[in-house]
Amino acid sequence: MSSFMEDEIKIIILDKLRKRGCWGGRYTPLDSLVRWLGKRIRGNGRRVRVAISQLVNEGYLILHKRGKTVSLNPTRSREIIKFIERK
């Protein structure tokens, strides 16, 4: 397990969703995303959940199905791609 900074966690989340093609109506379960990233990041998914909630508040992510699934916001696609390329 490695220790990542907060922005690096956000970049990993956005990049994972971008590679899976999860834009707008195509979404992925939040629990599986947290489980997948929780294995690589310290904090057993707590830091991942905090980063996801911050990305939702910033408008980069959209929650679906009462917050159980998540996708990238297609209206902010340029900003998301620029944010990912910062790494």
33 occurs within a structural domain: yes
Asked if pLDDT for residue 1 goes beyond 60, the answer is no
CA angle 55, 51, 61 (to 5 degrees): 25
Proportion of the chain above pLDDT 70, given as a percent? 93
Q: What is the pTM of this model?
A: 0.88
1 occurs within a structural domain: no
Query: Per 3-state DSSP, what percentage of the chain is helix, strand, and coil (rounded to 5)?
Result: 55, 15, 30
Sign for the pseudo-dihedral over CA of 28, 32, 34, 40: negative
Mean pLDDT calculated for residue range 47-56: 92
Q: Which of 24-28, 30-34, 72-76 is predicted most confidently?
A: 72-76
77 occurs within a structural domain: yes
Looking up residue 26, the CATH number of its domain turns out to be 1.10.10.10
Mean pLDDT calculated for residue range 8-36: 92
Domain region containing 68: 6-85
Asked if pLDDT for residue 17 goes beyond 70, the answer is yes
Q: At a CB cut-off of 8 Å and minimum separation 6, what does 57 contact? A: none
Q: What is the pLDDT of residue 60?
A: 95
* Number of domains making up the chain: 1
Asked if pLDDT for residue 40 goes beyond 80, the answer is no
13 occurs within a structural domain: yes
- In whole angstroms, give the CA distance from residue 20 to residue 15: 9
43 occurs within a structural domain: yes
